[in-house]
Chain A
Amino acid sequence: MLVSNNSEYAVTVKDLEKRFGSFQAVNKVSFQVRRGEIFGFLGPNGAGKSTTMRMLCGIIIPTAGEATVNGFDVFHQAEQIKNHIGYMSQKFSLYEDLTVEENIDFYSGIYQIPMVEKKNRKDWVVKMAGLDEHRNSLTAILPGGWRQRLALGCALLHKPPVIFLDEPTSGVDPISRRSFWELIYQLAAEGITVFVTTHYMDEAEYCDRLAMIYRGELVAIGTPDELKVKYMNNDVLNLECLDPFGALQAVNGIPEIREAALFGRGLHLAVNDASSSIPIIIKALQERKLVYTRLEKIIPSLEDVFVSIIESRDSSAGL
Chain B
Amino acid sequence: MVLERLMHMIRKEFIQVFRNPKMRAIVLVMPLIQSMVFGYAVTTDVKNVPTAIYDQAETPESRDLIDRFIHSGYFSVKTIIRSDREIDELLDNGEVAAVLRIPSDFSAKIASGSTAAVQIIVDGTDSNTAGVVLSYAGNIIRNDAIELMQKQIGNQDWEPLGVNLQTRAWFNENLTSRNFYVPGVIAAIVMLVTLLLTSMSVVREKEMGTMEQIVVTPIKPIEFILGKTMPSIILGFVNMIFVTLISVFWFDIPVRGSLMTLFIANGFYLMTTIGIGLFISTISDTQQQAMMSTFFFFLPALLLSGFMFPIANMPEVVQAFTYFNPLRYFLIIIRGVFLKGVGVTILWPQILALFILGTFVLTLSVKKFRKNLA
Chain A residues with CB under 8 Å of chain B are 57-59, 61, 79, 82-83, 85, 87, 89, 91-98, 102, 105-107, 109-112
- Per-residue 0/1 for B181-220: is the Cβ within 8 Å of any A Cβ (1 yes, 0 no)? 0000000000000000000000000001110111111110
Docked complex Cα distance between A57 and B216 (Å): 7
Is the Cβ of A97 less than 8 Å from the Cβ of B20? yes
Shortest CB distance A80–B (Å): 9
Is the Cβ of A98 less than 8 Å from the Cβ of B216? no
Is the Cβ of B4 less than 8 Å from the Cβ of A112? yes
Docked complex Cα distance between A309 and B200 (Å): 46
Shortest CB distance A22–B (Å): 22
**Cβ of B161 under 8 Å from chain A:** no
Chain B residues with CB under 8 Å of chain A are 2, 4-5, 7-9, 11-12, 15-16, 19-20, 208-210, 212-219, 374
Is the Cβ of B218 less than 8 Å from the Cβ of A93? no
Is the Cβ of B213 less than 8 Å from the Cβ of A94? yes
Given contacts A98-B15, A102-B12, A102-B15, contact A111 B218 (CB under 8 A): yes
Given contacts A89-B213, A98-B16, contact A105 B8 (CB under 8 A): yes
Docked complex Cα distance between A111 and B217 (Å): 7
Docked complex Cα distance between A217 and B11 (Å): 44
Given contacts A95-B16, A106-B12, A112-B2, contact A89 B218 (CB under 8 A): no
Given contacts A95-B12, A95-B16, A109-B4, contact A82 B218 (CB under 8 A): yes
Can you report 11 A-B residue pairs in the complex whose CB atoms are below 8 A from each other? A59-B215, A79-B218, A85-B216, A91-B212, A93-B209, A93-B212, A98-B12, A98-B15, A106-B11, A109-B7, A109-B8
Other than A109-B4, A109-B8, give 5 A-B pairs with Cβ distance below 8 A.
A58-B216, A59-B215, A87-B216, A106-B12, A112-B5
The residue that B5 contacts in the complex, of A85, A93, A109, with Cβ under 8 A, is A109
The residue that B212 contacts in the complex, of A89, A96, A102, A111, with Cβ under 8 A, is A89
Is the Cβ of B219 less than 8 Å from the Cβ of A110? yes
Report whether over half of chain A's contact residues are helix, strand or loop; otherwise say mixed.
loop
Chain B residues with Cβ below 8 Å from A105 are 8
Chain B residues with Cβ below 8 Å from A111 are 217-218
A112, closest chain B residue (CB) = B4
Q: For chains A and B in complex, what number of residue pairs have CB atoms within 8 angstroms?
A: 65
Report whether over half of chain B's contact residues are helix, strand or loop; otherwise say mixed.
helix
Is the Cβ of B209 less than 8 Å from the Cβ of A107? no
Docked complex Cα distance between A264 and B5 (Å): 53
Given contacts A82-B218, A95-B16, A97-B20, contact A87 B8 (CB under 8 A): no
Is the Cβ of A107 less than 8 Å from the Cβ of B217? yes
Docked complex Cα distance between A61 and B371 (Å): 12
The residue that A96 contacts in the complex, of B11, B12, B208, B218, with Cβ under 8 A, is B208
Is the Cβ of A93 less than 8 Å from the Cβ of B15? no
The residue that A94 contacts in the complex, of B9, B210, B216, B218, with Cβ under 8 A, is B210
Docked complex Cα distance between A95 and B212 (Å): 12
Docked complex Cα distance between A263 and B80 (Å): 97
Given contacts A82-B218, A98-B16, contact A92 B209 (CB under 8 A): yes
Given contacts A97-B20, A98-B15, contact A87 B213 (CB under 8 A): yes
Given contacts A98-B15, A102-B12, A109-B7, contact A83 B218 (CB under 8 A): yes
Chain A residues with Cβ below 8 Å from B208 are 93, 95-96
A86, closest chain B residue (CB) = B216
B223, closest chain A residue (CB) = A110
Given contacts A59-B216, A85-B216, contact A95 B210 (CB under 8 A): yes
A58, closest chain B residue (CB) = B216
Is the Cβ of A110 less than 8 Å from the Cβ of B5? yes
B217, closest chain A residue (CB) = A110
Shortest CB distance A59–B (Å): 6
